[in-house]
Amino acid sequence: MIIGNINDTAEVEKLHPLFRKAFQWIRANYRSIHESGVKQVKIDGERLFANVDVATMRTAEEQIFELHRRYIDIHIPVDKTETIGWMPEYLLRNVKDEYDATLDRAFFTDRPLQYFTIQPGDFCIMFPHDAHAPIIGEGKIRKICMKILVEGK
């Protein structure tokens, strides 16, 4: 897991060949993309795309973990603060839904080891071993979740 600001990504961009392209797209579009009404933007086919969402936030007690295998997530809240729960995969014990390779996700009901909060303009990168419970808060949130294919997957 990595937390930072979209205007300070030079070091992070070195970690994956598609991170630079992802952050360039984020900086150019994150404030205006919701106005277009699109729900998904293919930036580099299935290798890099953005899910654009207006989501109803949940309480920490209601939200459950998700985990991916094929994609890295970059979460970017657009209009309000978002809290995200986190736990490393090796500590997960309570499977709600087994991994679905077509949807690239599994769900777990364990409680987070940590919570952290990110502001609009911040980002949180979740790697496949990072179980995460996003969208914790009140009301609705406009957010973007970039999906970056893990090389070789």
Render pLDDT for 80-103 as a digit per residue (tens, 0 to 9).
Answer: 999 999 999 999 999 999 999 999
| pLDDT confidence of residue 16 | 95
DSSP summary character for residue 138 = S
Q: Quick check: 65 and 105 in contact, CB under 8 A? A: no
pLDDT in tens, 35-79: 777 789 999 999 999 999 999 999 999 999 999 999 999 999 999
From residue 19, alpha-carbon distances to 47, 128, 129, 145 in Å are 11, 15, 18, 13
| pLDDT confidence of residue 38 | 79
Among 34-43, 129-138, 144-153, the range with the most confident prediction by mean pLDDT is 129-138
Distance CA(61)–CA(141), nearest Å, equals: 18
For the segment 13-41, the average pLDDT, to the nearest whole number, is 91
pLDDT in tens, 105-119: 999 999 999 999 999
Q: For residue 115, give the CATH number of its domain.
A: 2.60.120.370
| pLDDT confidence of residue 31 | 85
| pLDDT confidence of residue 79 | 95
The whole domain housing 65 covers 2-149
Return the closest-CA partner of residue 62 out of 107, 118, 92, 103. 107
- Mean pLDDT taken over the chain: 95
E-state strands within 45-139: 48-56, 65-67, 71-77, 82-88, 95-100, 105-108, 114-118, 122-126, 130-136
Q: Exposed, middle or buried: residue 34 (CB in 10 Å: 0-12, 13-18, 19+)?
A: middle
Is the pLDDT reported for residue 151 higher than 80?
Answer: no
Q: How many domains, in total, are found in the chain? A: 1
Is the pLDDT reported for residue 152 higher than 90?
Answer: no
Provide the percentage of residues in the chain whose pLDDT is more than 70.
99
| pLDDT confidence of residue 36 | 78
